Amino acid sequence: MHSVINNIVKSTENRISKIKTDTGQKVNLKNTDEKRDIINAIKEKKKEKKVAVIAEVKPASPGKKLMDILPDDAARIAKEMERAGAVAISVLTEPEFFHGSTNNLEAVRKKVPLPVLRKDFIVNKVQFDEIESDLILLIAGILRNTLGKMVDLAISKGFEPLVEVHNKDELAEALKTNARIIGINNRNLSTLEINLDTTIKLAPIIRDFDKTNDTYHIIVSESGIYSIEDIKMVIEAGADAVLVGTSIIKSGDIYTKTKELVDALD
């Protein structure tokens, strides 16, 4: 792992230790009856010949501030994304490097009826009880041999786990789990370089696995999606959806950029 990723994980572990020791910590246990179904939402979006865009409320990348986003801002941005046709909203909750917050996630989930993904570095089961969301990101390269256990625990808590992979080994481990959604991260967490060829190489492996094993996985292409051409490339490779943050936030026009991506196949 790149030193930046290692630093984020260490910061997350420190954050978790504070959660464990804060007896006044308010936790929102997940009500499974209220989970919003992203899988059917993606299927419906595809039937409409539109791109299933999971649009991200993203204040920053490590070392690169995009914009200040407080809870009211997050809710407003998410509403624009919804209006533009986004299939779901991703909200960063990692505070130190991505300037996210669980307050932003809570504000978004109250404002829009779409499925909401919690985007964070989940490394401990205590994080499942921090805040309600419909989906939760689990990174195979970080969780390693605990991935299957964390997927099952997330499901038992009512979350839809989105398992993120970057290479064939991580994908093989992800396909052993009960996760229904596989995110292919085009960013290499060891070098932080981005290459859309990652989706082109890995998506067909998932399709072949499903055909052979009579299973079904939703494939989400993540990172490096900026243009209509990028969208077409990963969709043609087999992606069912894309997760886009930076290009939408940096555009200066949340609605117009989101709609451009949603309509990329027109």
The active-site residue, picked from 45, 50, 58, 111, is 58
Active site residue 164: yes
Distances (CA, A) of 11 to 16, 184, 233: 9, 24, 35
The active-site residue, picked from 50, 56, 94, 111, is 56
Active site residue 94: no
Structure tokens given for 71:
């809870």
Which pLDDT score, from 0 to 100, does residue 28 have?
A: 44
The CATH T-level fold of domain 3-19+37-262 is TIM Barrel (3.20.20)
Distance CA 60, CA 63 (A): 8
Active site residue 56: yes
Do 136 and 102 form a contact (C-beta atoms < 8 A)? no
Active site residue 223: yes
Active site residue 185: yes
The active-site residue, picked from 90, 223, 247, 257, is 223
Do 25 and 218 form a contact (C-beta atoms < 8 A)? no
Which pLDDT score, from 0 to 100, does residue 123 have?
A: 93
Domain extents in the chain: 3-19+37-262
**What does pLDDT average to in each consecutive run of 10 residues of the chain (266 residues)?**
76 76 46 76 96 95 82 97 98 92 96 97 92 96 96 96 97 98 92 92 98 97 95 97 95 96 96
Distances (CA, A) of 94 to 4, 123, 169: 13, 12, 26
Kindly report the pTM of this predicted structure: 0.92
Active site residue 260: no
Active site residue 119: yes
Which pLDDT score, from 0 to 100, does residue 27 have?
A: 45
Which pLDDT score, from 0 to 100, does residue 205 have?
A: 98
The active-site residue, picked from 106, 160, 164, 173, is 164
The active-site residue, picked from 61, 185, 186, 247, is 185
In degrees and rounded to multiples of 5, residue 224 shows phi and psi of 80, 15
Distance CA 231, CA 85 (A): 15
Structure tokens given for 141:
């390269």
Q: Which residues pair with 114 in a beta bridge?
A: none
The active-site residue, picked from 222, 247, 257, 260, is 222
In 3D space, the residue among 251, 189, 217, 243 whose CA is nearest the CA of residue 62 turns out to be 189
Which pLDDT score, from 0 to 100, does residue 23 have?
A: 41
